Amino acid sequence: MDRDERKTSMNSRMKWLALVLATFSMAPVWAQTQDGSASAMDRGSMGHGSMNAEGGAAPAEKDSMQGMDHGSMMPASPSAQPESMSGTTHGTMGGSPCGGDAGMPGMDRTDTNAQGGPAPAGARDPHAYSGGYTLDKGPYALPGSRQLRLADEHNFGSVLVDRLERVYRRDSNATAYDAQAWFGRDYDRLVIKAEGDVAKGTLQDARTELLWGHAVASFWDTQLGLRYDSGGAEPERKWLALGIQGLAPYWFEVDAAAYVGADGRTALRLGGEYEILLTQKLILQPRVEVDVYGKDDAARDIGSGLSSGTAGLRLRYEINRQVAPYIGVERSSKFGKTADLVRATGALAGETRWVAGVRVWY
């Protein structure tokens, strides 16, 4: 076969291949054309134009679509509904066109009361959940007095040593303590508070309180009891104490108390502290405390009015939640007549102190 014949045969094959490819490529176009024709069909011929409350039939010239007339699916009156649907008509739901108010008398929403009313006949007695067993009778009851008790019926106790520290001052050093313990229940408990400092082996100044605490709100307890002041060569003082202690909004711990003593003496003590969590274990604690007295007490170097105040900052590291060593600094000052009485003895009316100690509780 020469070159011309081979070229003619090749051209013939290419033509047939192009014809086959063109046929396959036209198939999707043909299918879309058919779909377009169907979608272009007059929707009125499907009976949608007759979908009204009167239930009119489709035009006669559209006999081929008569079976799709949706108008026949919405009767003009409840009597025209099939008997099998007469019990499920939603005619009472807002007076809709499909049935009016005559259908479904048993499902009338206006007769439904979602609140109150007697319990169904087969409802379980709410007082019989235990199957007849109680705390003091039944096969599982223990002999004698009732022994199963709830958490608020048990007594608990705790001891918090908030400050046990060595205080470094300009002229001398001392050891200071501030502790609180309680024993009792959620609502009523016995509370003991103790605060003071020891220098050169002698108790210099101490305040001890024995209180009855009663919960009056979430996080708040009122406290009523006695306060006893002692230490050093100064005379002792006894007070009737009334205070409140708790957690204020934004997590401020507050301790406030008023005192009434002999010979018309009165006093007010306010304390507050806050914990700033630098990390889960490293905590910075600012602390402020103020004392106010209503009458001069020269024997204890106390003047009326604002007597003393202390502001401190302690940084502690919690080895665990119960044990946390700390370091800090605080400023202690005397004010007014109290400052004058202190200066008269040759002591300083204000000083900055460095502290190092440990905070423990259990």
Q: In terms of residue numbers, what domain contains 282?
A: 156-361
118 is a domain residue: no
Number of domain units in the chain? 1
238 is a domain residue: yes
96 is a domain residue: no
Per-residue pLDDT tens digits for 252-294: 999 999 999 999 999 999 999 999 999 999 999 999 999 999 9
42 is a domain residue: no
Helix (H) or strand (E) holding 180: strand 173-184
6 is a domain residue: no
Q: Which residue, among 99, 103, 48, has the nearest Cα to 75 in the 3D structure? A: 99
Residue 234 has pLDDT above 70, yes or no: yes
Q: Is the pTM of this model over 0.75?
A: no
The string over 157-166, giving b where at least 16 C-beta atoms fall within 10 Å of a residue's C-beta and e elsewhere, is eeeebbbebe
Q: Which two tokens stand for residue 84?
A: 């099998």
349 is a domain residue: yes
Q: Which two tokens stand for residue 275?
A: 């914990």
Per-residue pLDDT tens digits for 40-85: 444 444 444 444 444 444 444 444 444 454 444 444 444 444 444 4
CB atoms within 10 A of CB 74: 17
The string over 325-349, giving b where at least 16 C-beta atoms fall within 10 Å of a residue's C-beta and e elsewhere, is ebebebebbbbebbbebbeeeeeee
324 is a domain residue: yes
Residue 312 has pLDDT above 50, yes or no: yes
Q: Which two tokens stand for residue 143?
A: 């002999």
Contact 68, 47 (CB under 8 A): yes
Report the CATH number that the domain containing residue 220 is assigned in CATH.
2.40.160.40
If 0-12 CB within 10 Å is exposed, 13-18 middle and 19+ buried, where does residue 209 land?
A: buried
Residue 242 has pLDDT above 80, yes or no: yes
Q: Which two tokens stand for residue 229?
A: 């002041």
Residue 303 has pLDDT above 50, yes or no: yes
Rounded CA separation 329/347 (Å): 20
55 is a domain residue: no
DSSP 77: S
Contact 223, 241 (CB under 8 A): yes
Rounded CA separation 34/45 (Å): 18
